[in-house]
Amino acid sequence: MSIQQDELVNKLQQKEAVIGIVGLGYVGLPLMLRYNDIGYRVLGVDVDQGKVDQLNSGKSYIEHISSEKVAKAIGSGFEATTDFRRVAEADAVILCVPTPLNKHREPNMSFVIDTVDSLKPYLREGQVISLESTTYPGTTEEELLPRVQENGLVVGDSIFLVYSPEREDPGNPDFETRTIPKVVGGHTPACLEVGSALYAPAIDQVIPVSSTRAAEMTKLLENIHRAVNIGLVNEMKIVAERMGIDIFEVVDAAATKPFGFTPYYPGPGLGGHCIPIDPFYLTWKAREYGLHTRFIELSGEVNQAMPEYVVGKLMDGLNDHRKALKGSRVLVLGIAYKKNVDDMRESPSVEIMELIEAKGAEVSYSDPHVPIFPKMREHRFDLQSVELSAESLSSFDAVVLATDHDRFDFDLIKRHAKLIVDSRGTYREAADHIIKA
C-alpha cells in the first residue's frame, strides 16, 4: 500500500476528505447533499454560472430536490464554483457529466473529455477520480487513464481511478442515494480499495467488481435489460390492439405469477437520460469487435417508433370524428419523460408534439411540473403549460395523454375532453371518446 493510498483511505474513513463533485445536475446534486449531510466538506463544480449562482444562494433548480436542502448544505459548508482550478482542494473528484448521443446515434464523449482536460492541470497526488457518467466499456481506461497520467501521476500509486455508475431514479420515493447499492470498479486493486472507501460512508451497500470495464458493462446491462423489455411490451401492445385485447389487462394478469415474470408497461416511447441512450453505447463499441447487437437495435427501432404510433392513433380518432389532424387543436398532457417529475430529457412527449405540429395542427401542452417549455438543445417550443379546466379541455379537438402525472384530474379530463388518446393505460374502461395508444 502506497503512502498516498493509506493517507487517502484514512481521510475518507475519518470524513476529513474534501469531496469534489463535477456536474451538479440530477446525479451530482443528490450526491452532494448526501456527502454534505454525513459531514464531509463538499465542493461543487459546474460550467453553468447560472446554476452555480442559484445553488450558492440556497436555491434548487430540480423540482424533487427542495431549496431548503440546498440552503442547509450551503449553511454547513457546501460551495459551488465554475473555477476548475479549485479541484486541487478536493481529495475525491466525482465526475457526473452528460454522455448523450450524436445525430448518428454514436457516443458524444465531449462532455467527459472536455471536463477531464479542464481538470488535468489541477490534479495532484493523493486524489481519487471517479467517473459516474454512463458510457461504453473501456472509457475509463482509454479516455481517462492517459489524461490523468499525462503530468507524471501514476494511477494506482500516487492517484486513483475508479468507475462507479450512477443509479439515480428521479422522483422515486422508494429509493434515495443512500439506499441504492453502488457498483465500483477500480483500474487497479489499490484503486478499488480507495473507491470503496469513498462510497462506503455514503451508500448503504457497495458492490465491488473486478475492473472499470466490468462496472461500465454492468450499467449498460441494467438499462439494456429495461429497454429490450419495454420494446417487447410495446410490440405486444400493437399485436394485442389488432386482436382487440387490452395489453394493460394482460400485463397485470401476468404479473400475478410469483416467479419468472417482471411486469413492464407500454408507453409512448422511451425517455430519460439512460434507457433511450445507453444501449447504443454498447452497440457502437461492439462494432469494434465485429459484433452486431441485434436485440438492442431491434428494441430501439420498436421504441423509437412509438411516438409515430401514438400520432397515428390520434389521426384515426380525429378521422372518426370527421376531422383532419391538419388544422386541429391538440393538447399534449405531460411533457416530462416520466410521471411526477420535471425531467424533460429525451421525453417522447416532445417528439409527439413535433410530429403533431409538422402535420399542420396547433399543439399546446399541460404539465403541472413544467410551467414553461424549457430551452432544449434540439427542440424549440415557445409555450406555457395550459391550466386544465372544463373550458380549456373542451376547446381542444383532442388531448393526448403522454405522461400520467398524479396531479392531473383524470375525471375532469374524461368528462370534458372531446377525444382522448391514452398512451399510458390510465383509462381502463372503454368509452367512445377514448382511444388506447
What are 391-413's pLDDT values in tens digits?
Answer: 999 999 999 999 999 999 999 99
pLDDT at 165 over 80: yes
pLDDT at 378 over 80: no
Cβ contacts of 411 within 8 Å, gap of 6 or more: none
- pTM value is 0.91
pLDDT at 271 over 90: no
Cβ–Cβ under 8 Å, residues 178 and 204? yes
> Residue 330 pairs with which residues in a beta bridge?
363, 398
Task: Please name which of 111, 149, 83 lies closest in space to residue 25, comparing C-alpha atoms.
Answer: 111
According to the model, what pLDDT value does residue 280 have?
87
Which of the four pLDDT bands, split at 50, 70 and 90, describes residue 355? very high
Q: Which residue has the cell 429495461?
A: 226
Strands 18-22 and 41-45: parallel
CATH code at 220-285+293-299: 1.10.1040.10
**What top-level class would CATH report for the domain 3-210?**
alpha beta
For domain 305-436, give its CATH number from 3.40.50.1370, 1.10.3720.10, 3.30.365.10, 3.40.50.720: 3.40.50.720
Task: Find the catalytic residue in 87, 206, 274, 420.
Answer: 274
Identical fold for domains 3-210 and 305-436, yes or no, is yes
| CA distance to 103, 284, 285, 348, 393, per residue, from 107 (Å) | 10, 8, 9, 20, 41
As a whole number of angstroms, the distance between CA 436 and CA 425 comes to 7
Three-class SS state of 223 = helix
According to the model, what pLDDT value does residue 198 have?
98
Domain ranges within the chain, ordered by starting residue = 3-210, 220-285+293-299, 305-436
Cβ–Cβ under 8 Å, residues 165 and 190? no
Task: Please name which of 355, 388, 353, 404 lies closest in space to residue 248, comparing C-alpha atoms.
Answer: 404
As a whole number of angstroms, the distance between CA 336 and CA 350 comes to 9
Known active-site residue 274: yes
As a whole number of angstroms, the distance between CA 71 and CA 64 comes to 15
Which of the four pLDDT bands, split at 50, 70 and 90, describes residue 278? confident
Q: Which residue has the cell 444501449?
A: 279
- Amino acid identity of residue 90, one-letter, is A
| DSSP per-residue codes, 402-423 | -S--TTS-HHHHHHH-S-EEES
As a whole number of angstroms, the distance between CA 288 and CA 48 comes to 35
b (16+ CB within 10 A) / e for 281-316: bbbbbeeeeeeebeebeebbebbbbbbebbbebbbe
Three-class SS state of 163 = strand
Tens-place pLDDT, residues 78-118: 999 999 999 999 999 999 999 888 777 788 999 999 999 99
Give the H/E segment covering residue 281. Answer: helix 278-287
Q: Positive or negative, the Cα torsion across 43, 205, 223, 428?
A: negative
